[in-house]
DNA sequence: AAGCTGGCTGAACATATGTGCAAGGAGCGG
DNA sequence: CCGCTCCTTGCACATATGTTCAGCCAGCTT
């Protein structure tokens, strides 16, 4: 029994690691582990929880060809996008769907993000849900950058967006770069002026260097409007203009039509989200969708080639495949 | 006995995959999953067992720096070998140790072996124990090749060795190449003759192309003699000769001294195991050791530079570090 | 068709695991 | 030194999971 307390790791983490090894690699019962670690069974249970929650234990599903993979294959063939279909029962509510897709994304995200990488992150109910579950993974010299501003007439949006960003930053040990601007400027000229600020330029350059982008979809005219549309960011006249312009959705507050085009949509001139050309520079662009109400929006985003990896609930995936 | 799963996946496997996803990715309880899959909770329990046993679910421990890693670091610094120290309680019996180390190796082996690879495998109690637990992993165009013959005066050894090989082959979907010769020829000349046979040459060439070699250690003069020394492979005169020659152990029935040298050991002329020069050609050479009685043998194997990756129980690891 | 076999199922039971809670201990500021 | 907070622990109980067993069904033989 050596007790040398080494500088690197706390006793607790070390015990958690040993416990995890004994439990997952050697199939001991918690009782047996408790005995080996000279502690109580409950403590072992807690150690293991911690080990899982802190990402010490990494559980993956190796999917050779599963039920959902038929859908995944169809989607790939049709849209050239790597799909991850999340099984969800038909009767699940929209909130359920969102939560369950988000949990799956949160669990798997570590496989996409690593040291020395930059990840761009949007905000909204989808990202919020994901952020609450991200499985931690230690990385070095990596960065999280906010894709679009979150302020509006009533709030700076900092509380909401920065909380989301912070959760990702904590989980990956990454530096977080916030974007403290409103979601939309009132005047396009203000935006242009801002965009000449050195601090802003630095952030935009960072967006240009993204390795991974993570975003949900906005869907203005569906039964379940997204955060942007319900949060007081848009005036009713803006809303009307979107309708007239044939807009079907947005990614990071940049709006697009069914064919994926963004030109001539006035609101985009005032938006702080990244031009799609910038977004498309990221080699991996992960889009998370739950609920069939976002289908029109999804079609648009696919046309705009915004997506390389799609996480989607089973129902919506079916709708996507059947629909077109 | 047939493994039909090609394009279509059996319902059962498909369900297992879905269940695994729901259980491990979405944290549903088995009860909830049973409900979604329209089956009973017990069936879900069984599905999940199957999913784990068949390698559909892959659980890894991401070890940043754990308790055992002190030892691992010391071993690396001193011997330039990547060590995996398996935690085992001090009071564990030798059988326990072997089993637990073997289980750990079996679980992690899939990380070393992949499609289009060739793995060389020895036989003995260690390999036998490992073979009983290998976690399956689907690979293509990969091969398992037997390192040394297993026959002796009484038996062809095929039952024993081929059973071990078969288990690995099944687990990885790999082609198995057996080596149907005795462990030791009676006359060196017979061996030389055999080695000119085309079939044997093919097998030896295969050994020369190994990507991974997996072996335990023999230890002739310890309290717990290894399979080779107790199985009727050696005459007592052979045994005496080993003692006089300063032999401390063997790998795949090729004997070596404390300094790692093999020259001038008569028995090696009759052995069917691979020359160490051949063995060392494999980029990864995984040695599995349990129990401190193999320490002398281990030192010799380290001197001979036979090992790149070492799996060892905690007690033996301590002894290794304290000893020298 | 009857009889057999082997594999699968869910109910009931046996274990194993998760959690609320009260108690104890370390750190800290009076 | 006290009294406070915050964190940890193990117990006891509540849940969740694993396993046994009898019954069922499909496929096959007679």
* Cα dist from B261 to A34, A214, B240, whole Å: 45, 57, 18
Query: CA-to-CA distance for A212 and B97, rounded, in angstroms?
Result: 45
In a domain, residue B126? The reply is yes
Query: CA-to-CA distance for A86 and A61, rounded, in angstroms?
Result: 12
Which residues 47-106 of chain B have a CB under 7 Å from nucleic chain D? 48-49
In a domain, residue B313? The reply is yes
The whole-number pLDDT of residue B236 equals: 78
Mean pLDDT of B210-231: 81
Query: CA-to-CA distance for B136 and B56, rounded, in angstroms?
Result: 8
| Same domain, residue pair A173 and A200 | yes
Query: CA-to-CA distance for A28 and A20, rounded, in angstroms?
Result: 10
- Are the beta carbons of A61 and B24 separated by less than 8 Å? yes
| Same domain, residue pair A36 and A100 | no
Residues B51-90: tens digit of each pLDDT = 998 888 989 888 766 556 778 989 999 999 999 999 888 8
CATH of the domain at B37: 1.10.10.60
In a domain, residue A302? The reply is yes
The whole-number pLDDT of residue A324 equals: 59
Q: Does B91 touch chain A (CB under 8 A)?
A: no
Query: CA-to-CA distance for A177 and A206, rounded, in angstroms?
Result: 9
Query: CA-to-CA distance for A262 and A255, rounded, in angstroms?
Result: 6
In a domain, residue A1? The reply is no
| Same domain, residue pair A33 and A79 | no
Q: Which of A184, A167, A166, A307 is nearest to A242 (CA)?
A: A184
Q: Contacts of residue B137 in chain A, CB cutoff 8 Å?
A: 62
Query: CA-to-CA distance for B288 and B61, rounded, in angstroms?
Result: 19
| Secondary structure of chain B in HEC code, one letter for each residue | CCCCCCCCCCHHHHHHHHHHHHHHHCCCCHHHHHHHCCCCHHHHHHHHHHHHHCCCEEEEECCCCCHHHHHHHHHHHHHCCEEEEECCCCCCCHHHHHHHHHHHHHHHHHHCCCCCCEEEECCCHHHHHHHCCCCCCCCCCCEEEECCCCECCCCCCHHHHHHHHHHHHHHHCCEEECCCCECECCCHHHHHHHCCCHHHHHHHHHHHCCCEEEECCECCCCCCCCHHHHCCCCCHHHHHHHHHCCEEEEECCEEEECCCCCCCCHHHHHECCCCHHHHCCCCEEEEEECCHHHHHHHHHHHHCCCCCEEEEEHHHHHHHHHHC
Q: Containing H/E element for A257?
A: strand A254-257
Which residues 23-42 of chain A have a CB under 7 Å from nucleic chain D? 39-40, 42
- Are the beta carbons of B58 and A57 separated by less than 8 Å? no
Rg of chain A (C-alpha set): 22
Q: Rounded to the nearest 10 degrees, what angle do helices B314-323 and B295-303 cross at?
A: 70
The whole-number pLDDT of residue A6 equals: 39
Query: CA-to-CA distance for B271 and A214, rounded, in angstroms?
Result: 60
For residues B320 and B295, the answer to whether their CB atoms sit within 8 Å is yes
| Secondary structure of B183-214 in HEC code, one letter for each residue | CECCCHHHHHHHCCCHHHHHHHHHHHCCCEEE
Indicate if the pLDDT at residue B229 is higher than 80: no
Structural domain that includes position B100: 70-321
Indicate if the pLDDT at residue B91 is higher than 90: no
Q: Does B25 touch chain A (CB under 8 A)?
A: yes
| B68 min Cα distance to partner chain A (Å) | 8
- Are the beta carbons of B26 and A103 separated by less than 8 Å? yes
In a domain, residue B112? The reply is yes
| B148 min Cα distance to partner chain A (Å) | 29
| Same domain, residue pair B41 and B166 | no
Does the C-beta of A48 come within 7 A of strand C? yes
Query: CA-to-CA distance for B205 and B278, rounded, in angstroms?
Result: 9
SS3 A282: coil
Query: CA-to-CA distance for B175 and B140, rounded, in angstroms?
Result: 9
In a domain, residue A243? The reply is yes
Rg of chain B (C-alpha set): 21
CATH of the domain at A121: 3.40.50.1360
Number of domains in chain B: 2
Indicate if the pLDDT at residue B235 is higher than 60: yes
| Same domain, residue pair A33 and A144 | no
Q: Contacts of residue B59 in chain A, CB cutoff 8 Å?
A: 24-25, 57-60
| Same domain, residue pair B211 and B296 | yes
| Same domain, residue pair A57 and A75 | no
Does the C-beta of A49 come within 7 A of strand C? yes
Q: Which of A95, A173, A96 is nearest to A134 (CA)?
A: A173
| Same domain, residue pair A167 and A131 | yes
Predicted confidence band of residue B205 (pLDDT cuts 50, 70, 90): very high
Which of these three, A39, A61, A83, is where a domain ends? A61
In a domain, residue B3? The reply is no
Q: Which of residues 139-178 of A touch B (CB under 8 A)?
A: none
| Same domain, residue pair A19 and A119 | no
| Same domain, residue pair A109 and A41 | no
In a domain, residue A2? The reply is no
User: Tens digit of pLDDT per residue, chain A (324 long)?
Assistant: 333 333 345 677 888 998 999 999 988 999 999 988 899 999 999 999 989 988 889 898 887 665 567 788 899 999 999 999 998 888 888 888 998 999 999 999 999 999 999 999 999 999 999 998 898 888 899 999 999 988 776 665 567 788 899 889 989 989 999 888 888 888 899 999 889 988 889 999 999 999 999 999 998 877 666 666 666 677 778 888 888 889 999 999 999 999 999 999 999 999 999 999 999 999 999 999 999 999 999 999 999 999 999 999 999 999 998 875
Considering only the beta carbons, identify the residue of B18, B107, B108 that sits closest to A67: B18
Q: Which of residues 29-48 of B touch A (CB under 8 A)?
A: 36
Q: Contacts of residue A89 in chain B, CB cutoff 8 Å?
A: 36
Chain A with chain B: Cβ pairs closer than 8 A: 119
> For the purposes of burial, counting CB atoms within 10 Å of the CB of A84, is it exposed (0-12), middle (13-18) or buried (19 or more)?
buried
Q: Contacts of residue B64 in chain A, CB cutoff 8 Å?
A: 9, 56, 138
| Same domain, residue pair B42 and B78 | no
Query: CA-to-CA distance for B102 and B135, rounded, in angstroms?
Result: 12
Q: Which of A65, A312, A97, A84 is nearest to B17 (CA)?
A: A65
| Same domain, residue pair A53 and A106 | no
Q: Containing H/E element for A57?
A: strand A57-61
Which residue gives the smallest C-alpha to C1' distance to D17? Answer: B45
Indicate if the pLDDT at residue B105 is higher than 90: yes
First to last CA, chain B: 50
For residues B262 and B303, the answer to whether their CB atoms sit within 8 Å is no
What global pTM score does this model have?
0.74
Query: CA-to-CA distance for A171 and A135, rounded, in angstroms?
Result: 6
> How many CA atoms lie within 13 Å of A84's alpha carbon, on the beta-carbon side?
24
Q: Which of residues 66-85 of A touch B (CB under 8 A)?
A: 66-68
DSSP letter at A294? G
Q: What is the largest CA-CA distance in chain A?
A: 75
Helices (H), chain A: 11-20, 30-37, 41-53, 67-79, 94-108, 125-131, 158-172, 188-194, 198-208, 227-230, 236-244, 266-270, 276-279, 295-303, 314-323
Which of these three, B18, B35, B61, is where a domain ends? B61
Nucleotide nearest to A11 (CA to C1'): D8
The whole-number pLDDT of residue B230 equals: 67
């Amino acid at each position: 029994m050596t007790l040398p307390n080494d500088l690197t790791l706390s006793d607790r983490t070390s015990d958690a690691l040993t416990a995890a090894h004994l439990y997952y690699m050697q199939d001991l019962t918690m009782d047996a582990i408790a005995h080996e670690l000279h502690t109580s069974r409950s403590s072992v249970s807690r150690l293991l929880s911690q080990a899982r929650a802190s990402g010490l234990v990494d559980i993956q599903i190796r999917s050779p060809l599963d039920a959902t993979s038929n859908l995944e294959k169809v989607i790939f063939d049709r849209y050239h996008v790597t799909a991850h279909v999340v099984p969800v029962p038909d009767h699940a509510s929209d909130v359920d769907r969102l939560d369950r897709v988000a949990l799956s994304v949160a669990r798997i995200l570590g496989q996409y993000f690593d040291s020395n990488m930059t990840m761009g992150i949007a905000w909204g109910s989808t990202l919020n849900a994901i952020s609450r579950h991200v499985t931690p993974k230690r990385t070095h010299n990596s960065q999280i950058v906010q894709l679009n501003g979150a302020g509006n007439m009533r709030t700076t949006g900092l509380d909401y967006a920065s909380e989301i960003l912070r959760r990702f930053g904590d989980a990956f040990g990454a530096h977080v770069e916030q974007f403290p601007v409103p979601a939309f400027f009132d005047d396009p000229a203000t935006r242009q002026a801002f965009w000449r600020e050195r601090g802003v330029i630095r952030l935009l350059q960072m967006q240009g260097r993204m390795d991974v982008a993570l975003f949900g979809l906005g869907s203005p005219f569906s039964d379940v409007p997204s955060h942007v549309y319900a949060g007081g960011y848009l005036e009713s006249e803006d809303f009307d203009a979107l309708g007239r312009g044939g807009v079907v959705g947005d990614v990071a507050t940049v709006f697009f039509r069914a064919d994926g085009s963004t030109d001539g949509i006035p609101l985009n001139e005032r938006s702080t989200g990244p031009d799609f050309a910038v977004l498309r520079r990221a080699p991996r662009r992960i889009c998370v969708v739950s609920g069939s109400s976002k289908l029109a929006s999804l079609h648009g985003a696919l046309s705009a080639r915004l997506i390389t990896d799609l996480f989607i609930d089973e129902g919506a995936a079916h709708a996507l495949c059947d629909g077109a």
